[in-house]
Amino acid sequence: MLRFWSVQSLQNPQRARSPLAVLRSASSPKEGFKNNTIASWSLSYGCLIFVGKLEGNDLHMNKTTPTCWLLTAGISLFAVVHLFGADLDAAKIDNLTGLKGKLNEKEGVYKVTFPRADVKVAVDGWTMPPFMGLGTWAAFQGSNDKAMMMGDTVLFEDEVNPAMSAAFDNGLSVTALHNHFFFDHPKVYFMHIEGEGTVDQLAGAVRKVYDKIKEIRAATPQPKDSFGQIALPEKNSISAEPLNKVFGLTSEANNGMVKFSIGHPATMHGVKIDNAMGVNTWMAFAGTDDNAVVDGDFAVTEDELQSALKAMRVGGINIVAIHSHMTYEQPRILFFHYWGKGPAKKLAEAIQGALLASGLSGVSTSAAR
């Protein structure tokens, strides 16, 4: 039957349909290819044309060689196996994420989502329905073996860093962290994640992030309003010299506080920009040597971002924002802001570890003046 169909199609080109057209008609974006037989016919049709031309046949039934048919069958089988193994397995994504997704047939994207309805959020005094922008989602595109995932995760302040660490621990990247509202109570943040790999890896990683959020809210239903660490003394007395040695820089001192700044050269609109123009990584310490706080900003390229973020989280430093400060700069520079508490030297070593991990240590030897 396959042989007759293929040959008849070639003998009546006006009535024949292309293999791609047949494949499209035999497939459903929602459930994958349903009709393997028709798909196989179309592939065989294409193979017959190619192999037949190589052998100099006119492809009439009585002149088609056994070699042509054998090669056609082999190529068809390989192609069919490849095609039918390529689609995203929606049921698997649902099972691994614990959510029920929806397919965008036009773009070939499968998306799972859930509303953050577990905590009431008020914006400017109005209780905000999750439909108005409090939805967490993750979208998948590609195939089971080679997929891309992008997502946006709605988080409260005490969820951000545990969720970020869960993303890193499971092979995902974090590409942005910011707010969407003013005067929101409790404060809401949005963490963008992405990854590439198999559906099993990506959907499983997304589930780990979501499970971490649920774990935090199960322990404390209402978001916390502080990191819960020891309060800082009113008078600052940070010793500069130990920190100078950690960074290999000379700090700026002010009323018992110390600050360092490392430039990241770039250009914007053809003009060279660096430390003094705000393209810098800086860190400021306050408190005492044993009970200190550090806050600051990292200036990184896209290639440096993930390694720096991961090292900061391993060192116990909290990430509080990831965003851009400029447009049209070369190379593209991203900034992330951070906050940490603990012994001053330990905090400095954690930050230096991130500088080393991302290749930023020694980018510039000039401290802020």
For residue 87, the model assigns a pLDDT of: 85
Compute the distance between CA of residue 310 and CA of residue 322 in angstroms, rounded to an integer. Answer: 13
Residues 6+ apart with CB under 8 A from 149: 138, 139, 140, 141, 172, 193, 194, 195, 196, 202, 203, 205, 206
Least confident of 3-12, 173-182, 224-233, 360-369: 3-12
The band of 16, judged by pLDDT with boundaries at 50, 70 and 90, is: very low
H/E stretch holding 334 reads strand 333-342
Q: Is 145 exposed, middle or buried (0-12, 13-18, 19+ CB in 10 A)?
A: exposed
Tokens 């056994």 correspond to what residue? 66
For residue 69, the model assigns a pLDDT of: 53
Q: Is the pLDDT of residue 93 over 90?
A: yes
For residue 75, the model assigns a pLDDT of: 53
Q: What is the CATH number of domain 240-357?
A: 3.30.70
Q: Are 296 and 361 in contact (CB under 8 A)?
A: no
For residue 98, the model assigns a pLDDT of: 97
pLDDT in tens, 169-222: 999 999 999 999 999 999 999 999 999 999 999 999 999 999 999 999 999 999
Average pLDDT of the chain to the nearest whole number: 84
Q: Is the pLDDT of residue 263 over 90?
A: yes
Compute the distance between CA of residue 275 and CA of residue 366 in angstroms, rounded to an integer. Answer: 8
Compute the distance between CA of residue 279 and CA of residue 259 in angstroms, rounded to an integer. Answer: 16
Residue ranges per structural domain of the chain: 2-84, 90-219, 240-357
Compute the distance between CA of residue 164 and CA of residue 310 in angstroms, rounded to an integer. Answer: 9
The residue ranking higher by pLDDT, 11 or 110, is 110
For residue 66, the model assigns a pLDDT of: 57
Least confident of 19-23, 71-75, 83-87, 252-256: 19-23
Question: CB count, 10 Å around CB of 18?
Answer: 12
Section 98-103 average pLDDT:
97
Section 331-350 average pLDDT:
98
Q: Is the pTM of this model over 0.95?
A: no
Q: Is the pLDDT of residue 40 over 90?
A: no
Section 49-53 average pLDDT:
47
- Please state at what angle helix 157-169 crosses helix 199-219, rounded to 10 degrees: 150
Compute the distance between CA of residue 139 and CA of residue 199 in angstroms, rounded to an integer. Answer: 11
For residue 54, the model assigns a pLDDT of: 46
Section 52-57 average pLDDT:
48
Q: Is the pLDDT of residue 351 over 80?
A: yes
